[in-house]
Structure 1
């Protein structure tokens, strides 16, 4: 890992040691099988979506991601209302906890993800990511970053919703990393609004995918967790032009997403982390009040 890349102090031992109720082995295996089947069906049917409009493909991606999440036994709670994709380009900036963040955000705010270059080479999911308009970044080449920012700005100018995890690394959910500034330059260049999004899971730790965690181990924790709930809170957008530079814009988005930890359901009844190792991510990358409780809804 390059020394300039973001790191988090989270490890599987410190963050993801089971401290929550679990389901039986048969139920867990069933969830794994149905989850894998949902992913495979989406991959096989993806070419059928080629003739559709961008809005049609986005709708199918959203439906597919909802199906995958539910197949793994995860319930989703949505707070707030996303800005319409037709309202112009928007830079979506969630905190980053798990691989589950990716289908979770895509289910509620489908758009073009920013992912590390290696994802393009992954079997099955790599071609699907490319088909879905994923923007790839070479995290080992700092000199390539300005080109990535220009590509993001072009997508925003074209009216796309671009999704980036600006912490640059997964954190367990009990703590959050600061937002890196670079991605926010694309919103400034394109004159696009920024959409902060807060992700939380309960029980904390069951969904965490941190440090040297193996994907298989994380999948098993998710499948065995009883009552795992994901909350995605869509916060008030930061209007285009409200901040003069990327640093102040990044700080404003970070303050919005960090919010009041005590108010987030997934931060209750858990112990403090004691982890101490870095965590590579699958992505690279005025205080706002939370959305009204009247806008709470669930995916089913």
Structure 2
């Protein structure tokens, strides 16, 4: 793997009122540099996705699994969820470093039970690092845990989910309250402390989900919402890596249908068996977006045939502060780790500011 060191000379500052280049519908800020949405309680600084349920493919455009297979998948998933109750007793008895390993085994089994094939390209670091990934689905957490023994950072609502929340806490998950911006510095400090303690920590810097197809050629460079970059990476959590002196490892999650099977309607149907990963067409079928509830999303995924989640592990990015101000470093890291920005010509000045040590 290569290690990238960020230089400040070629970096520009992000425009806009909220540090992401986006402006608020009201044009107001909340005093933290983030904008608020007028008339919507609890959304003071929550990231907003450009994707909604309109990005989801039509049901009859998707390859469907048979009725017996769907029933078997549902049964297997329920059994593994019940087995999770046993893990609640086992995990506290294990050494802290072993808990993510057991969680990874459980995540792989659950993905298999749901009929989702896991493909990994590259390897995450085997030392403390901040793993950053684009966010598409609730399956993302399972995919990351299946390839890396990481502690997750999840929204605090997950901690209240029956069984899943208890499993998350037992596995060392940290939580972020998206409705309390004043709690953000404490969360960043907690992540930095975990990195200093030797943990791998995985975060979703977008702070929300997208359909996962934005910027893809088959859709004309835009997802069906019409947004070229529905939710860019926010820089806040990258500060934890800067504070802890830990590398950032970008992960790119892509959902597609197995090579050689029909894809979505309107996209070239069958792919040759020997196709390379760049030949596959991403699908929004696994996306968990808009106002969709968890059960309809899970039911759709259980009913799919040949769904694949691919996890690409990028080269680690190592911040090297050389200035009293560390803010530009986290912004640079956010831009460099964002898969959508890497495909954007506007990011070339940032990529030119890298000194690659091979």
Q: TM above 0.5, one fold?
A: yes
The alpha-carbon deviation at position 217 of structure 1 amounts to: 0.9
The alpha-carbon deviation at position 247 of structure 1 amounts to: 0.8
Deviations 1:244-282 (A, max 9, x none): 52111111111x565459xxxxxxxxxxxxxxxxxxxxx
Question: Which runs of 5 or more structure 1 residues have no equivalent in the other structure?
Answer: 262-285, 289-300
Is residue 275 of structure 2 the alignment partner of residue 234 of structure 1?
no
Aligned to 2:333: 249
Higher helix fraction (1 or 2)? 1
**Cα gap change, 1:259 to 1:248, in 2 (>3 Å):** closer
Q: Aligned partners of 1:124, 1:237: CA distance in 2, in Å?
A: 34
Contact 2:88 2:166 in 1 (8 A): no
**Cα gap change, 1:14 to 1:82, in 2 (>3 Å):** closer
Aligned to 1:108: 147
| Aligned length, in residue pairs | 260
Contact 1:97 1:208 in 2 (8 A): yes
Aligned to 1:121: 160
The alpha-carbon deviation at position 212 of structure 1 amounts to: 0.5
Q: Aligned partners of 1:14, 1:136: CA distance in 2, in Å?
A: 28
Contact 1:120 1:127 in 2 (8 A): yes
Is residue 201 of structure 2 the alignment partner of residue 162 of structure 1?
yes
Q: Aligned partners of 1:104, 1:193: CA distance in 2, in Å?
A: 21
Q: Name the SS for the 1:182 alignment partner.
A: coil
Contact 1:198 1:257 in 2 (8 A): no
Deviations 1:214-259 (A, max 9, x none): 11111111111110011000111112427852111111111x5654
Contact 2:335 2:341 in 1 (8 A): no
Normalised TM-score (structure 2): 0.69
Q: Name the SS for the 2:93 alignment partner.
A: coil
Contact 1:97 1:170 in 2 (8 A): yes
Q: Name the SS for the 1:197 alignment partner.
A: strand
Shifted more, 149-158 versus 173-182: the winner is 173-182
Shifted more, 116-125 versus 51-60: the winner is 51-60
Is residue 58 of structure 2 the alignment partner of residue 17 of structure 1?
yes
Q: Which has the higher contact order (CA 8 A, sep 6+)?
A: 1
Aligned to 2:47: 6
Contact 1:113 1:133 in 2 (8 A): yes
Contact 1:197 1:257 in 2 (8 A): no
Residue of 193, 208, 218 corresponding to 2:287: 208
Contact 1:17 1:205 in 2 (8 A): no
Contact 1:94 1:257 in 2 (8 A): no
Backbone CA RMSD of aligned residues: 1.9
Contact 2:153 2:176 in 1 (8 A): yes
Matches within 5 A, 1:48-67: 48-67=90-109
Aligned to 1:27: 69
Question: Which runs of 5 or more structure 2 residues have no equivalent in the other structure?
Answer: 1-41, 215-228, 258-282, 345-350
Shifted more, 91-100 versus 244-253: the winner is 244-253
Normalised TM-score (structure 1): 0.81
